[in-house]
Amino acid sequence: MIEGMPLAVPGVRLASVAAGIKSSGADDLVLIEMEEGTHCAAVFTRNAFCAAPVTVAREHLHACANKPRYLLINAGNANAGTGRAGVRAAQACVEAVAVATDVDVVRVLPFSTGVIGEPLPVPLITAALASALSALTPEGWAGAAHGILTTDTRAKTHSVAFRCDGRDYVVTGMAKGAGMIRPDMATMLAYLATDAAVETTVLQQLLDHCKERSFNRITIDGDTSTNDACVLLATGAAGNELLSNPELPLYPALCAAVEDVCTVLAQAIVRDGEGASKFVTVQITGGRSEDECLTVAFTIAHSPLVKTALFASDPNWGRILAAIGRAGLPDLQVEAVTLYLNDVLIAEYGGRAEAYTEAQGAAAMATDDITIRVALGRGDAHATVWTTDLSYDYVRINAEYRT
Amino acid sequence: MIEGMPLAVPGVRLASVAAGIKSSGADDLVLIEMEEGTHCAAVFTRNAFCAAPVTVAREHLHACANKPRYLLINAGNANAGTGRAGVRAAQACVEAVAVATDVDVVRVLPFSTGVIGEPLPVPLITAALASALSALTPEGWAGAAHGILTTDTRAKTHSVAFRCDGRDYVVTGMAKGAGMIRPDMATMLAYLATDAAVETTVLQQLLDHCKERSFNRITIDGDTSTNDACVLLATGAAGNELLSNPELPLYPALCAAVEDVCTVLAQAIVRDGEGASKFVTVQITGGRSEDECLTVAFTIAHSPLVKTALFASDPNWGRILAAIGRAGLPDLQVEAVTLYLNDVLIAEYGGRAEAYTEAQGAAAMATDDITIRVALGRGDAHATVWTTDLSYDYVRINAEYRT
């Protein structure tokens, strides 16, 4: 595992330019080029009002048999809620890439993030394509990670290098948040690439596994975006024999690397959540099923009262118990439930633990990273989600978002 | 229907005193006395972590065959999350009432609201009982409505007088909010009384009907309380023959009056919601079932992004579409969905309506009372819920709640 700058992935080149969509003048258009033969897996939002680029990207990915050559990503405008005109706008952008690069249009996938409901400024995007094409470089990850941001305050990238059967591989990814984050399939936008050669269905199986344990375990505000997308590219530049069987040793090694990159990126989205001042791990154990553990975890993570208490560093554990109690678990025995803040035992037998003192709770809440641990005492299942607090700044950012 | 001061209900006397539970010195203890023969229906929170007084009140109501003589309500301390010690504390309080009034202890029901997790100050409550008993008066509704408040900024009462079969009746109610409001059975605390004589099972049926269309249709923050309770008393002082059959004309007349009082009180709780600056009606039509209409309505009403846009008076309708889209309705055809803000058509055919202008949306959002109307275009069912915005003040109130 490598800290610091993201590692280049042989077979992938990236460029980030300012097309003028963001009024700030910051980079807002990213182009990713994959070499011929790259396999692609992707997951998209399950929001019924999915954005126009999601519709087009899904169709194109299918039409090109999961072998796209270009990803075109703009920030500052989500091209969502724009109806049929939005679909035509997304198509016009990828058509311009196809013409400039002489590839079939279905081998270009569009992605957008930003304000919902505004027409996509197609001329700005097509006018910036030439400079994006000439700026493509294998070292472009860090720049591209900046170019896809909206209300995020920092770029999010991560790389893992590993060796399997005597061959070296790399996995690099980037992602952006930072509001409307409760991924139901993938996060807002995340792009990962590896130089391993992986057959498409195996690649999709691997991505499905990894996103379920990373991006689908985070929430900032419970609002699932219209534009969520997560893409995993496998260029094959490492030269291995095409991985077409998950029983081979490369599969678990690659899976671990991809899950690691996904988890680091997902947690980075939470740490950079709108107005976030705390990073909160909600860990549920002792459930009858993973599903009921997730239900309890997300009920706690979405509770405005728990989130405002976290913001205030107030160990108001009664609000956590209240959230557990309203999560709708059948036959929940409150006497069996145990609650910890970090390592401090707060509540058991339906009430405050006898040895607990407010000073202990206050000390636990004063840390920037907090773990809320709930033992349900009714089974062996467990699940963890990551979230953040609800601060004045969350309200300010979202009240002022379009001004 | 009578505006202004709440009407006395023959057979009911109330008192409100300051027991010293609230550090402000405001009234915090309310006693309600019902004359012999009063029938009582009640609904309580479905939160698994229900408070100690809810446990005791439920048991006592059953043990006294729904004929209690006293309700004892304290504000400032919820006696929730307090385990077995909390149950003993609630029992000690009602035992003191029973001794002072010479009634069986199971004919006294306890209710609490306030901070969760603190021990109930029983001595303060029992010491204040004598002055409460001597202050009982039929005119005590307005004072009692103040005595049960916590973060509420104003008392909430409502009366309806009606005539049926040549006889006059009255229904009066009071309620309090103002956070942890997403009633799953009843609201935080609400007490209604009528002088009609009504048999207990009929009274319960009537209350179940009315709370479903009033208190169970409001949400401030999605957090279902541990202490929700709604009580309906029928003293019989009007002298009518005991209503034991819902087919008789008095049933629909009384039902309409009770539902009216419940709806006015429920809406008053929303208007006084923590940090509320808007009163928002979310009206869903054209659903396949009432349940799916409620799912969409509550998804919109709980969305932090919709709520912060409402606070900012920003007609950010894309967030409303996104909430509809993530509500999980099977086979939702977004092309069939129509969205209005007040009377302004905002979106249709999956995107912005052609004639819509931002100026129209801004004008609609500038009002204090806003109706979000969604036509799903897939059936005949409909449902309405009431909610409010998410403001800086909501965060402030809940961040500072225990300081």
- Which pLDDT score is estimated for A2? 42
* Closest CA of chain A from B321, distance in Å: 7
Residue A249, domain member (yes or no): yes
CA nearest to B195, candidates B250, B236, B253:
B236
pLDDT at B289 over 70: yes
Q: Give the pLDDT of residue B399.
A: 87
pLDDT of residue B178: 80
Rounded Cα distance between A27 and A140, Å, is: 13
pLDDT of residue A82: 87
Q: Give the domain CATH number at B186.
A: 3.60.70.12
Rg (chain B; Cα; Å): 22
Instruction: Among A251, A271, A291, give the residue marking a domain's end.
Output: A271
Domain annotation covers residue A98:
yes
DSSP states along B197-209? -B-HHHHHHHHHH
Which ipTM value was assigned to this complex?
Answer: 0.83
- The DSSP line for A217-245 is GB-SSS---SS-EEEEEE--TT-PPPB--
Residue A373 lies in a domain: yes
**A73 HSE (CA, 13 A, CB side):** 31
Does one domain contain both A231 and A288?
A: no
Q: Examine the pLDDT at B1 and tell me if it is beyond 60.
A: no
- Rounded to the nearest angstrom, the gap between the alpha carbon of residue A317 and the centroid of all alpha carbons in its chain is 29
**Structure confidence by residue, pLDDT tens digits, B347-384:** 998 889 999 999 999 999 999 999 999 999 999 999 99
Residue B353: what pLDDT? 92
| Range of weakest confidence among A113-117, A262-266, B186-190 | B186-190
Q: How many helices (H) and strands (E) does chain A have?
A: 12, 15
CA distance A381 to A316: 26
A113 is catalytic: no
Q: What is the mean pLDDT of chain A?
A: 92
Q: Quote the tokens at residue B31.
A: 């006693």
Tokens of A247: 């029983």
Query: Which chain B residue lies closest to A225 (C-alpha atoms)?
Result: B322
Task: With beta carbons less than 8 A apart as the criterion, state whether A113 and A79 touch.
Answer: no
Least confident of A219-228, A389-398, B308-317: A219-228
Q: What is the CATH number of the domain that holds A365?
A: 3.10.20.340
Q: How confident is the model at residue A9 (pLDDT cuts 50, 70, 90)?
A: very high
Sheet containing A108-115, strands listed edge to edge, beginning at the edge strand earlier in sequence: A12-17, A29-34, A70-77, A108-115
- B342, B237: one domain: no
**Is residue A399 in a domain?**
no
Query: How far apart, in whole angstroms, are the C-alpha atoms of residue B94 and residue B126?
Result: 9
In a domain, A65, yes or no: yes
- If one counts the domains in chain B, the total is 2
Q: What is the mean pLDDT of residues A182-204?
A: 85
Poorest-confidence range of A126-135, A393-402, B165-174, B179-188? Answer: B179-188
Q: Identify whether the C-beta of residue A158 lies closer than 8 Å to the C-beta of residue A7.
A: no
Minimal Cα distance from B309: which residue of A? A399
Q: How confident is the model over B104-117, as a mean pLDDT? A: 94
pLDDT for residue A1:
38
- Specify whether A62 is located in the same domain as A164: yes
B104/chain A closest Cα distance in angstroms: 28
Same domain for A105 and A218, yes or no, is: yes
Residue B153 resides in a domain: yes
Q: Work out the number of other CB atoms within 10 angstroms of the CB of residue A163.
A: 9
| Contact yes or no for B222 and A303 at CB 8 A | yes
Nearest residue in chain B measured CA to CA from A396:
B392
Q: How confident is the model at residue B2 (pLDDT cuts 50, 70, 90)?
A: very low
**Is position A153 within any domain?**
yes
B49/A322 Cβ within 8 A: yes
Whether A185 shows a pLDDT value over 60: the answer reads no
Q: pLDDT band at residue B182, thresholds of 50, 70 and 90?
A: confident
Q: β-pairing, A369-375 with A279-287? A: parallel
Helix residue spans in A174-223 (DSSP H): 200-212
Do you know the residue count of chain A?
403
pLDDT, tens digit (0-9, with 9 covering 90-100), for B119-130: 999 999 999 999
CB contact under 8 A, B302 and A222: yes
Residues A346 and A294 in one domain: yes
The reply to whether B46 touches chain A by the CB within 8 Å rule is yes
Helix intervals (H) in B81-154: 83-101, 122-127, 129-134, 141-147
The predicted pLDDT at position B228 comes to 86
Share of chain A above pLDDT 70, in %: 98
pLDDT band at A228 (very low <50, low <70, confident <90, very high): confident
Confidence label for A220 from pLDDT (cuts 50, 70 and 90): confident
Which of A215, A244, A271 is the last residue in one of the domains?
Answer: A271
Same domain, yes or no: A122 and A242: yes
Give the residue on A whose Cα is nearest the Cα of B221.
Answer: A304
Considering A213, A248, A271, which residue would you say is the last residue of a domain? A271
pLDDT score, position A313: 93
A183, pLDDT greater than 80? no
- Sign of the dihedral defined by the CA atoms of residues A51, A53, A59, A65, in that order: negative
Q: How far is CA B92 from the centre of its chain?
A: 27
- A-proximal residues of B, 202-261, CB under 8 Å: 221-226
**A238 and A370 share a domain?**
no
Check: CB of residue B194 under 8 Å from CB of residue B258: yes
* Token pair listed for B349: 């055919």
What is the bridge-based pairing of β-strands A229-234 and A351-352? unpaired
Domain shared by A169 and A229, yes or no: yes
Cβ burial of B67 (10 Å; 0-12, 13-18, 19+) is middle
Q: What pLDDT is attached to residue B186?
A: 53
Residues of B in contact with A323 (CB under 8 A): 223
| Neighbour tally for A84: CB within 10 Å | 12
A221 and A286: one domain? Answer: no
Sign of CA dihedral A81, A87, A88, A93: positive
Which of B157, B187, B226, B235 is an active site residue?
Answer: B187
**Which residue matches tokens 């479903």?**
B212
Helix B250-271 and helix B200-212: axis angle, to 10°?
A: 40
Check residue B117 and report its DSSP letter.
S
Structural domain boundaries, residue A363? 279-387
Catalytic residue among A38, A157, A187, A299: A187
Same domain, B124 and B199: yes
**% of chain B with per-residue pLDDT over 70:** 98
Measured distance CA(B390)–CA(A397) in Å, rounded? 12
Structural domain contains residue B7: no
pLDDT at A157 over 60: yes
Write down the H helix ranges in B222-280. 250-271
A50 to B390: CB separation less than 8 angstroms, yes or no: no
Q: Tell me the CA end-to-end span of chain B in Å, nearest whole number.
A: 42
Highest mean pLDDT among A77-81, B65-69, B173-177: B65-69
Decide if A325 and B48 are in contact by the 8 Å CB cutoff.
yes
* Record: contact B318-A349, CB cut-off 8 A: no
Q: Alpha-carbon dihedral of residues B342, B344, B345, B346, nearest 10 degrees? A: -90
Interface test with B, best of A44, A45, A46, A49 (most B CBs within 10 A): A49
Q: List, for residues B203-240, the tens digit of each pLDDT value.
A: 999 999 999 999 989 888 888 888 888 999 999 999 99
Same-domain pairing of B72 and B134: yes
Query: A323 pLDDT exceeds 80?
Result: yes
Q: CB–CB of B117/B83 below 8 Å? A: no
Instruction: Report the C-alpha gap between B141 and B32 in whole angstroms.
Output: 9
**Any CB–CB contact under 8 A between B357 and chain A?**
no
Q: Are strands A189-194 and A229-234 parallel, antiparallel or unpaired?
A: parallel
In a mutagenesis test of the B interface, which of A395, A400, A401, A403 is the best target, namely the one with the most B β-carbons within 10 Å?
Answer: A395
| CA atoms of B56 and B277, how far apart (whole Å) | 37
Residue from the list B82, B396, B398 with its beta carbon closest to the beta carbon of A305: B398
Looking at the fold, whether B263 and B291 belong to one and the same domain comes out as no
